[in-house]
């Protein structure tokens, strides 16, 4: 993978919200500004048992190395077209917030990364979600990086569409062109409505590196959506902002321990972050291959995944993203 890179624009003010596709900034900040919005957000956000039990390698398991005072959130994007809470997870991002809340790293795990899934042998990482929902995916990622995951959030892809429409569309920079019934994507800047945004983040077959290229598109879309969602045009417009908050949180599910108070606390602690403090990177792999049953896979880089694990556990992601890997 390429070294982690920093967004050049600095209007992304709360890093956790980038990973959660804008949801947590709404939850953390909006609820303090208006009672009506607080009620809307509280009513919309759903809670479920998304973390594994301690006996299965949950966050309280003594086997897992402590990650100092940092926090780790797993963000799962699930495509609602599959019609099941245990469909395939199309977005898997580990959000690492450092000890003093001055830096956030978003580690994208390609869905075809070939790893050990507890109780199921070797398989693509997104198969863990199909086999056992969020708890098994959490356990799989925890085992892979030997670092506890504190909280989990799941957002449906339909949320992208609703949030995009709520802010009047977004401007997204595309590295590659692609064709779609909702409108063609050109290389360069594109203004996307909700349907076009959904097609943009779903596409992978027409892209040069498949799922890897799609991951880059999803990162580009997330940044574009947050820039628009946190722009003055939206923040200072009560109707637009309320619509954005409502659309985001209607499609959000978090673990039972992720309370509104915890969300607000995290948002307040990170209120001074800017875009330059947010880093994107991809879990390391050596190349592409074929699984024993014939599926296309990304081959895990076992040496560099250990480097990632060390950086997460010791809260030294800066050194990892400087050296990079692939």
CA nearest neighbour of 74 among 89, 53, 55: 89
CATH tag for 15-315 (out of 3.30.300.130, 3.40.630.190, 1.10.4080.10, 1.10.1240.10): 3.40.630.190
> How far is the CA of 96 from the CAs of 236, 247, 315, in angstroms?
30, 25, 9
> How far is the CA of 286 from the CAs of 17, 28, 250, 325, in angstroms?
30, 38, 38, 9
Tokens 């995944």, residue located: 305
CA nearest neighbour of 143 among 132, 156, 154: 132
Give me Rg for the CA atoms of the chain. Answer: 18
In the prediction, which pLDDT does 161 show? Answer: 85
Q: Exposed, middle or buried by CB within 10 Å (0-12, 13-18, 19+), for 131?
A: middle
In the prediction, which pLDDT does 22 show? Answer: 45
Tell me the DSSP string of 13-80: --HHHHHTTTHHHIIIIITTT-HHHHHHHHHH-EEE--SPPGGGT-TT-TTSPP-TT-EEEEEEEE-G
Q: What is the pTM of this model?
A: 0.78
Q: Output the six-digit token pair for 124.
A: 């693509």
What torsion do the CA atoms of 35, 36, 39, 42 make, to the nearest 10 degrees? Answer: -90
228 contacts 211 by C-beta, under 8 angstroms: no
Q: Output the six-digit token pair for 74.
A: 């797993």
297 contacts 291 by C-beta, under 8 angstroms: yes
- β 151-156/121-124 pair status: unpaired
**Positions in the chain short of pLDDT 70:** 1-38, 58-68, 79-88, 226, 230, 235, 264, 267-268, 270-275, 322-326
298 contacts 288 by C-beta, under 8 angstroms: yes
């Amino acid at each position: 993978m390429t070294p982690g890179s920093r967004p050049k624009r600095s209007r992304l003010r709360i890093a956790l919200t980038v990973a959660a596709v804008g949801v947590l900034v709404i939850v953390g900040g909006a609820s303090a500004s208006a009672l009506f919005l607080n009620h809307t957000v509280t009513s919309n956000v759903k809670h479920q048992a998304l973390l594994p039990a301690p006996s299965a390698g949950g966050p309280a398991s003594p086997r897992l190395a402590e990650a100092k005072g940092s926090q780790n959130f797993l963000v799962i994007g699930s495509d609602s077209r599959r019609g099941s809470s245990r469909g395939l997870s199309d977005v898997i991002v580990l959000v690492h917030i450092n000890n003093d809340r001055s830096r956030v790293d978003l580690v994208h795990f390609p869905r075809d990364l070939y790893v050990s899934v507890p109780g199921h042998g070797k398989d693509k990482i997104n198969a863990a979600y199909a086999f056992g929902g969020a708890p098994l995916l959490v356990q799989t990622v925890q085992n892979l990086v030997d670092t506890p995951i504190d909280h989990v959030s799941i957002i449906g892809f339909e949320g992208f569409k609703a949030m995009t429409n709520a802010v009047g569309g977004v401007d997204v920079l595309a590295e590659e062109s692609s064709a779609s019934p909702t409108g063609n994507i050109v290389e360069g800047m594109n203004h996307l409505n909700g349907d076009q945004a959904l097609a943009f983040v779903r596409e992978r077959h027409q892209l040069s590196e498949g799922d890897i290229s799609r991951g880059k598109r999803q990162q580009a879309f997330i940044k574009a959506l947050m820039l628009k969602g946190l722009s003055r045009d939206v923040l200072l417009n009560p109707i637009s902002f309320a619509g954005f908050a409502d659309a985001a949180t209607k499609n959000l599910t978090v673990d039972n321990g992720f309370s509104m108070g915890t969300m607000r606390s995290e948002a307040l602690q990170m209120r001074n972050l800017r875009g330059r403090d947010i880093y994107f990177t991809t879990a390391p792999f050596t190349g592409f291959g074929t699984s024993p049953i014939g599926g296309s896979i990304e081959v895990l880089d076992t040496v560099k995944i250990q480097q990632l694990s060390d950086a997460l556990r010791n809260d030294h992601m800066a050194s990892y993203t400087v050296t990079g890997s692939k």
